[in-house]
Structure 1
């Protein structure tokens, strides 16, 4: 009497089955991670323009973006964190996600803005947010010439370059700058004393 044994399933067939199960599992895990990541995204504020130090900030200065920051989420400004009277504690670049440390209150700010007239044309590339030096050439006692230039403020920030009009616009420019309050008296004294002022971008080899 003959006996027939059931043919064994090939090892390769079992292996392909296990690989298939593993791939399905990986696919499911990947989808779950994507969904979990989307669910964990937090709305934070992104600067819609360059905001200079000391400038008052409002909701109109930002856009809300959803990002996944993990444990760093609380370090960035969220829409509900905006309060009346907040100012930029430093220059915030356009497109930057805004850290909590980049904002403060007007009472804490040690800076203010002044408008000065540069005796020379503003260098190309100087714009809102540019860090500059302000140089002065004091008027001599005879009132007919100026002394050698010297640094008046070493770390001012450009708030706005104001377009000049008229005959002198080709050689002079008006600019609004952000300076430390401690430097205000010196700048006003230079202006009232008819010193020739000029601005130089920091790092320009001055």
Structure 2
């Protein structure tokens, strides 16, 4: 008689992470519309009803993938800027962390940003927009820490510029295996930093001094 060890019951949080990881791969491979809950369940080794129990729908699964990526990105960019000696160093560290994050999600990054969230539905679109807004708020807090007298409108405009530039460059970056995260960050620093540094400290016509 052969003894068999009991199968370990996977904790719910671990199972959910596994499902999200597999779903992200399949969404990247197939696109949202072509991806099937049957295939995701099969690769995960779970039943399709279990997927629906955890996420409610295929859109709910995509939203969960985006939400988890959003949390990872926020942690990475916030931690990277900690302890920087000035705003330029903090910004560059944050940019490098952002592009390193896109490396970890290289196959699905462009897919999510371009149109898959819109195809999936309003909840996915809202989650992508929430990720953008969160990065804007992180950048505003970063700049405010070094420029406490800058007006909030200038800080917010600057943060939107940085986030928008990061997003657009990332769509190019994920197609280029010959460009490192540091090189991508340096492209942005060369293009943006001089103007951004001036933009939050110079006089704004018709609005007084932005210092």
Would you say same fold, with TM above 0.5? no
Higher strand residue share: 1
Q: What TM-score do you get using the length of structure 2 for normalisation?
A: 0.25
Higher helix residue share: 2
**Which structure has the larger Rg over C-alpha atoms?**
1
